[in-house]
Amino acid sequence: MRLFAAADAIGAPLAGLVNNAGVSGGFSRLEDLSGSVLHHVLAVNVAGAMLCAREAIRRMSTKHGKLGGTIVNVSSIAAKLGSAGEWIHYAASKGAIDTLTIGLAREVAAEGIRVNAVAPGLIDTDFHAAAGAPDRLGQMAPDIPMARAGTPEEVADAILWLMSEQASYVTGAIVPVGGGR
Identify the pLDDT of residue 139. 87
Determine, yes or no, domain membership for 10: no
- Residue 143, in any domain of the structure: yes
Residue 131 confidence (pLDDT): 77
**pLDDT given at position 133:** 79
Please check the confidence at residue 128 and state whether its pLDDT lies above 80: no
Q: Is 61 among the domain residues?
A: yes
* Measured distance CA(26)–CA(21) in Å, rounded: 15
Give residue 135's pLDDT band: very low, low, confident or very high (50, 70, 90). Answer: confident
Q: How sure is the predictor about 176, in pLDDT bands with cuts at 50, 70 and 90?
A: very high
- 153 pLDDT above the threshold of 90: yes
Residue 54 lies in a domain: yes
Domain residues for the domain of 52 are 15-177
Average pLDDT across the chain, whole number: 94
Is 6 inside any structural domain?
Answer: no
In a domain, 171, yes or no: yes
Catalytic residues: 90
Q: What is the DSSP string of 26-93?
A: -SB-GGG--HHHHHHHHIIIIIHHHHHHHHHHHHH-GGGT---EEEEEE--THHHH--TTTBHHHHHH
Query: What percent of the chain has pLDDT above 90?
Result: 81
- pLDDT number for residue 178: 95
Beta-bridge partner residues of 18: 72
Q: What is the pLDDT of residues 137-147, one digit of tens each?
A: 888 889 999 99
Answer yes or no: is 4 within a domain: no
CB 121 within 8 A of CB 181: yes
* pLDDT tens sequence across 17-76: 999 989 999 999 999 999 999 999 999 999 999 999 999 999 999 999 999 999 999 999
| Distance, CA of 98 to CA of 102 (rounded, Å) | 6
Tell whether 23 is covered by a domain.
yes
Stretch 156-172: mean pLDDT: 98
pLDDT score recorded for residue 78: 96
Amino acid at position 53, single letter: A
- Please tell me the total count of domains within the chain: 1
DSSP 162: H
Average pLDDT score over residue span 150-167: 98
**In this structure, what CATH number is given to the domain that contains residue 38?**
3.40.50.720
